[in-house]
Amino acid sequence: MNDTHFKRMKDLPSTHLLGTGTPMCAGCGGLQAINDIYDILGEKTVFINAAGCMTLLSVYPFTPFRGSWLYTAMASAPAGAQGVRDALDILLEKKKIGQEENLTAVVLTGDGSAYGMGLSATSAAIDRNLDFIYICYDNEGYGNTGQQYSSATPHGARTSTSSGSMGYPGFKKDLFSIWAAHKPTYVATVIGAEPLDLARKIEKAAQLKGPRFIITLSPCPTGWGFDPQETMQIGKLAVKSGVWPLKEYIDGKIIHTKVPKIRMSVEDYLATQFRFAHLFKPERNTRLIDEIQGRVDEYWDHVS
């Protein structure tokens, strides 16, 4: 990380590129991360979007992007990136456009698309060694439709389709590992609450070629049930409790970029959000809390 431009917080951009006036919820942790990401990727990009919250970033005639945008559908944003990338390459090769007109294809989807409906299109885009960046804002549920559980919903979380006393019975899919198993150029987890770590990873991804992946955990006041102002604290807690490991996959190796020296208990994280309130009220569900803690501990036991 010595070659990074972002050595300390003061190195982060002081002016921001993404426009204001978008209809994202107050305190949207996904938007916060996208802002930071866009500052680094810049306007020579075309964002290719799948159905989700961020689809509403561009509602005719308003767009917050300085660069370009293409909405596709829920399942096929990586295929949209394929078409755009291939077309740009063809135009470059035929000298119909010069390098100065080139753009980076950036797929932007939520977890619903990334972990579920769009996974097949993503997997194939990696097979084809597509030169693109994929950004998944992961708010751990189908947020745009009112937070139903998705393949990214954590065990025990209440959603509008897992409202029983035990919450969601399934387990959050390990998308980082699934993507990494394809051996793409780069995979990283980030979070808006750790902007320096995020900036370094986006900077690195931007300099590489081939399929590059970013999953940003996106604290969601509306879907998770917390006051919008707590977005940053909850994001930091996700990292400090070990629930959201910050890591990257590059050259076949996985590196943890921020290992909490003393991991806080997951309880400190869970207790901040209404979606886990049933773990504490009316009485404490020690078994479920311990189970969640146990899984986090198990994960970190295997981190050297």
In the region spanning residues 122 to 161, those forming contacts with another protein, defined by CB under 8 A, are 123-124, 127-128
Q: Which residues, 239 to 298, sit near another protein by CB under 8 A? A: none
The sign of the dihedral angle between the CA atoms of 178, 183, 185, 186 is positive
Kindly indicate which of the ranges 52-60, 170-178, 203-211, 261-269 contains the residues binding another protein, using the contact rule CB under 8 A: 52-60
Q: Which residues, 193 to 212, sit near another protein by CB under 8 A? A: 195
Q: Kindly state the smallest distance separating residue 304's Cβ from another protein, in Å.
A: 32
Q: Kindly state the smallest distance separating residue 254's Cβ from another protein, in Å.
A: 26
Q: Given candidates 1, 4, 7, 16, which one binds another protein under the rule CB under 8 A?
A: 16
At 225, the amino acid letter reads G
Q: Given candidates 170, 225, 228, 260, which one binds another protein under the rule CB under 8 A?
A: 228
Nearer to another protein, 119 or 292 (CB): 119
**Torsion angle, alpha carbons of 34, 40, 45, 48, to 10:** -20
181 is a contact residue toward another protein (CB under 8 A)? no
From CA 75, how far away is CA 141, in angstroms rounded? 16
Crossing angle, helix 29-41 and helix 231-240, to 10 degrees? 80
Integer angstrom CA distances of residue 187 from 181, 210, 211: 10, 11, 9
Kindly indicate which of the ranges 48-56, 131-139, 148-156, 207-215 contains the residues binding another protein, using the contact rule CB under 8 A: 48-56
The closest of 192, 187, 189, 196 to 172, measured between CA atoms, is: 189
x-or-dash string of contact with another protein, 84-113, rule CB under 8 A: x-xxxxxx--x-xx--xxxx----------
171 is a contact residue toward another protein (CB under 8 A)? no
Q: Kindly state the smallest distance separating residue 58's Cβ from another protein, in Å.
A: 4
Q: Given candidates 59, 181, 255, 303, which one binds another protein under the rule CB under 8 A?
A: 59
Q: Given candidates 69, 161, 263, 264, which one binds another protein under the rule CB under 8 A?
A: 69
Strand (E) or helix (H) holding 99: none
Strand (E) or helix (H) holding 182: none
In the chain, the DSSP E strands lie at 45-49, 68-71, 104-110, 132-138, 186-191, 211-217, 246-250, 253-258
Nearer to another protein, 137 or 292 (CB): 137
